[in-house]
Amino acid sequence: MPVITIDIEDLNRLLLQPLSPAELRETIPLLGADPNEISDHEAVIEFFPDRPDLLSTEGVARALRAFTGQAPGLARCAVAKPKTWLSVEPSITDIRPWFLGGIVRGVTLDDVALRSLMELQEKLHVTLGRRRRKASIGIHDLKPLEPPFRFYGCSPHEPAFIPLGCDEPMTPEEILQEHPKGVAYAHIIADEERYPLIVDSQEQVLSMPPIINGQLTALSADTTDILIDVQGLDRQAVETCLNIVTAALVERGGSAEALEIRYPSEKYIVPDMAPREHRADHDYLTRLLGWDPGEEQVRRAFGRCGLEGELRDGEWIVQVPAWRADLLHPVDLLEELAIGLEYDEIPEQLPQLATFGRETASRQRERECREALLGLGFQEVVSLTLSSARAQHELPAREPAGEAHVANPVGEEYHLLRPALLPGLLELLRTNRHHELPQRIFEVGWVVRDHANRLALGWVELNSRAPFSQARATAQAVAQRLGIEGDAQPVEDGMFIAGRCASLGDALVFGEIHPRVLEGCELGYPAIGGEMLW
C-alpha cells in the first residue's frame, strides 16, 4: 500500500486549528489509514489504495478539517472559464487517446510544498496510473509558455529539447535510450512509430509524456501559475488524477481555471470539479449498519467524511467531491457513514440467532485428498491456471472439454483456462527434471469443464520404475480415504498407455503416462499419474 511522508508543520498550516502529534495518532486511523510513525516533525502514513485523494499533505489536511469538525461538509472548488486551449492531433490518439488538463493560478509554493506535490504525482503514477501506462501527469510552470498548446505524435529524431534535470538537448529517441526516466518507462511507447509531445504556440516543448517533462517548465518556489496535463489510456483514471492534483494546488492558495481540450471531432472543458451525486435508501443504510442513528446524526457523519447529504422521501442524496474516486455503490456510502459515526460508537448487540460453522462437503474432500497424498510422500504444488491446446489436447490426444479461451493471448503457451491438472503437473516436472528421483507431486485446484468451474485433483510420480501397480495403489489409497468403493475398471484415455489405464468410481482415472506425452514434456523416465473431477 502507498506510504506518504507528511511534514507536521506544513500540515498544520493547512488546518484551521493545529493538531498535536498525539491527536494525529488518534485521528489518522479513523480515516482508514495506518500511521507507521508520527513524531513531532514528521508523519509516515500508509493509506489504502482506494483513497488516492489522501496521498498528499493537502488531501490529508482537507480530510482532517472535515473529520475534526473544523470545516465539515462538502469542500467546493470553483473553476473559472477557460482562457486558452490545447488541441489534440489525430497523430497521437492511437497512442495516448485521452488528454485532459487544467490551470491553477496564484499558488504559493515552498520547498516542502514542492516535495509534497512531487510525491503526490509519483504516488498517483504508481496507483491510479499503473506505473504511468494507464495515466501519467505533468505539472508545469506556466510563466515561460505561450498558449495555446498542442499534443501530437512526433518523430523519434526530432525535435530535440532539454529534459528535466539535464543541461543539453536530446531527441526523443535519445531520451528513451540514455535518460534514466526514459530507460525506466521506454517500454510504454518504444514500439510506437511516433512519440507523444506537448508544445506551446512557439513550439517550445513542455513534456514528452509519459516519460519526462522539459526543463523549461520545471517548478520552483517562485512558481505561481501552473499548467497540469494528464494523459493516458483510461478516461476515468486520467480525470481522477487531474481532479486530485487540481484540488491539491487549490489547497495551496490557488484558483482553478479551466482548459479547453480540442479533439478533431469534439471538445472538453476541464477540469470538471462539480460534485457528483450518489443515492442510497435510508432503510438500506441502517439495515446494513444494524442501527438507525437518526437523520441528523447521519447528516453529520457524512459531513465528517467531506460529503453533503440530504434526506428526501426516505432516500439520501449525497454530494461527493470530484476528487473522490472510491465511491461507486450505495455500500460505499454505508462505509462513509460508519467512518463518520466512528465504529466504536455503533451500539453493540448480541446476535439473535446462534450459528455454527462447519466444513462443506467439497472442502472436506479437498482436505482428505491432501492428507491421503501427503501421507504417501507426495508434495503439493500450485501450477498455472492458464495452459495451451498443445499441453491439454494435442499431447494427451484429448478432445476439447468446453474450456474458456483467452480472447487476446500474449503467446501460444497460455491461451486457455486448463480443463485438467495433469498437463500442468507434467510441465512442472519438465522444469525440474534435473532434480533427483523419485519426484511425486499433486495439486488440488480449479479447472474449467463445459464452461463451468470444477474442482479437480491431479497427481503424478516420475521414477526410474513406475509400474501400473504403483499407480493403482496410489489411486486405491485416495479412493479409500474418500469412501469410493468398487473394483478398478479398464478405460481408454489418451493421457495414458492403452491397457494400462483404469478408473475407480465415475471420476477417478489413473495409469501409466503415455510415452508420447513424456517425450513432448522432455521427460526421460517413466511416469504414473491420476486425476479426479468433482
HEC readout, 75-100 = CCCCEECCCCEEEECCCCCCCCCEEE
Q: Are residues 85 and 168 in the same domain?
A: yes
Quickly list DSSP for 478-511.
HHHHHT--S--EE---TTEEEEEEEEETTTEEEE
Q: DSSP code of 391?
A: I
Q: Are residues 366 and 425 in the same domain?
A: yes
Is residue 227 assigned to a domain?
yes
Is residue 57 assigned to a domain?
yes
Q: Domain range for residue 39?
A: 3-67
Is residue 352 assigned to a domain?
no
Is residue 348 assigned to a domain?
no
User: Do residues 149 and 87 touch, judged by C-beta distance below 8 A?
Assistant: yes
User: Do residues 400 and 513 touch, judged by C-beta distance below 8 A?
Assistant: no
Q: Are residues 322 and 367 in the same domain?
A: no
Is residue 403 assigned to a domain?
yes
In angstroms, the CA 135 to CA 209 distance is 10
Is residue 223 assigned to a domain?
yes
Among 217, 235, 270, which residue terminates a domain?
A: 270
Q: Are residues 12 and 157 in the same domain?
A: no
In angstroms, the CA 194 to CA 92 distance is 8
Gyration radius of the chain over CA positions: 31
% pLDDT > 70, the chain: 100
Q: Are residues 265 and 366 in the same domain?
A: no
Q: How many domains does the chain have?
A: 4
Q: Are residues 93 and 239 in the same domain?
A: yes
Q: Are residues 241 and 300 in the same domain?
A: no
| Secondary structure class of 319 (helix, strand, coil) | strand
Residue environment code for 129-161, b if the CB has 16+ CB neighbours within 10 A, otherwise e: beebbbbbbbbbbbeebeeebbbbbbebeeeeb
Whole-structure pTM value: 0.73
Over the stretch 276-329, which tens digit does the pLDDT of each residue have? Answer: 999 999 999 999 999 999 999 999 999 999 999 999 999 999 999 999 989 999
Q: Are residues 17 and 102 in the same domain?
A: no
Instruction: Say which residues have a Cβ less than 8 Å from residue 288's Cβ, sequence separation at least 6.
Output: 331, 334
Residue environment code for 37-70, b if the CB has 16+ CB neighbours within 10 A, otherwise e: ebeeeebebebeebbbbbbbbbbbbbbbbbbbee
| Secondary structure class of 300 (helix, strand, coil) | helix
User: Do residues 213 and 140 touch, judged by C-beta distance below 8 A?
Assistant: yes
Burial class, 426, CB count within 10 angstroms (exposed 0-12 / middle 13-18 / buried 19+): buried
Among 26, 42, 67, which residue terminates a domain?
A: 67
CB atoms near residue 235 (< 10 Å): 12
We report the CATH number of the domain holding residue 52 as 3.30.56.10
We report the CATH number of the domain holding residue 383 as 3.30.930.10
Q: Are residues 147 and 40 in the same domain?
A: no
Among 47, 67, 87, which residue terminates a domain?
A: 67
Q: Are residues 22 and 121 in the same domain?
A: no
Q: Are residues 38 and 137 in the same domain?
A: no
| Amino acid residing at 500 | R
Q: What tens-digit pLDDT sequence spans the chain (534 residues)?
A: 789 999 999 999 999 999 999 999 999 999 888 999 999 999 999 988 889 999 999 999 999 999 999 999 999 999 999 999 999 999 999 999 999 999 999 999 999 999 999 999 999 999 999 999 999 999 999 999 999 999 999 999 989 999 998 999 999 999 999 999 999 999 999 899 999 999 999 999 999 999 999 999 999 999 999 999 999 999 999 999 999 999 999 999 999 999 999 999 999 999 999 999 999 999 999 999 999 999 999 999 999 999 999 999 999 999 999 999 899 999 999 999 999 999 888 888 887 888 888 888 889 999 999 999 999 999 999 998 898 888 888 888 888 877 788 887 777 778 888 899 999 999 899 888 888 889 999 999 999 888 889 999 999 999 988 899 999 999 999 999 988 888 888 999 989 999 999 999 878 999 999 999 999 888 889 999 999 988
End-to-end, the C-alpha distance of the chain in Å comes to: 38
In angstroms, the CA 34 to CA 311 distance is 33
Is residue 351 assigned to a domain?
no
Predicted local confidence at residue 269, as pLDDT: 98
Long-range contacts of 31-39 (CB under 8 A, 24+ apart): 31/60, 31/63, 31/64, 31/67, 31/339, 32/339, 34/1, 36/3, 38/8, 39/8
Q: Are residues 148 and 253 in the same domain?
A: yes
Is residue 356 assigned to a domain?
no
Whether omega before 271 lies within 30 degrees of 0, making that bond cis, reads yes
The number of C-alpha atoms within 13 Å of 195 and in the hemisphere containing its C-beta is 28
We report the CATH number of the domain holding residue 227 as 3.50.40.10
